[in-house]
Amino acid sequence: MDESNMSCEDLMISETTVEISRPVMDAVENTPTSSGCTPAASITLDQFSRLLDFKLDTKLESFQASLTRTIRKEVSDQIAKLKSVFTVTTDFFAE
């Protein structure tokens, strides 16, 4: 079987479990040391959903924190520039 085939023909879906079958290789024993892969495993849709939610929540929190830091820095930088321009302007009028 061609491993570059990315079709979903080998995907079997039931109501609660998604199982992916992998091609069987006659000449190579399926061990982590010989092929680098482990045998196919089943995972329930609920487990997959919880894992995906956890990963997305973690990424979202990280993204929000990064965005907050960036916005605060930009606003702070612009306020500093505005103060500088305002000081120059008021000094000009004072002369």
Is residue 47 a part of any domain in this protein?
Answer: yes
**Is 5 a member of any domain?**
no
Number of domains in the chain: 1
Residue 19 covered by a domain: yes
With respect to residue 2, please indicate whether it lies within any of the assigned structural domains: no
Q: Tens digit of pLDDT for each residue in 36-80?
A: 555 567 889 999 999 999 999 999 999 999 999 999 999 999 999
Rounded to whole angstroms, the Cα distance separating 39 from 41 reads: 6
28 found inside a domain? no
Range of the domain at 42: 11-23+33-94
The reply to whether 86 falls in a domain is yes
pLDDT digits (tens, 9 = 90+) for 20-43: 555 544 444 445 555 555 556 788
Residue 6 falls inside a structural domain:
no
* pLDDT band with cut points at 50, 70 and 90 for residue 84: very high
Complete edge-to-edge strand list for the sheet that includes strand 42-44: 11-13, 17-20, 42-44
Say how far apart CA 1 and CA 8 lie, in whole Å: 14
